[in-house]
Amino acid sequence: MISKFIEDVQTLDTEPGHPDSPFSPPADWEGGNTEYRNWLRSQFKTSPWVRQRLRIAARRYAKRETLDFQGRFGAVLPDILDSILKKLQTEPSVGD
In this predicted structure, the answer to whether residue 94 has a pLDDT above a threshold of 60 is: no
- The pLDDT value recorded for residue 9 is 78
In this predicted structure, the answer to whether residue 8 has a pLDDT above a threshold of 80 is: no
Least confident of 11-20, 50-59, 67-76, 82-91: 82-91
More confident: 62 or 90: 62
Mean pLDDT of 44-65: 92
* Residue 68 parent element (H or E): strand 68-70
More confident: 5 or 91: 91
Type of residue at 88 = L
pLDDT range class, residue 64, cuts 50, 70, 90: very high
Closest CA to 54 of 32, 16, 23: 23
Compute the radius of gyration of the chain from its Cα atoms: 14
Q: What is the pLDDT of residues 17-40, one digit of tens each?
A: 988 899 999 999 999 999 999 999
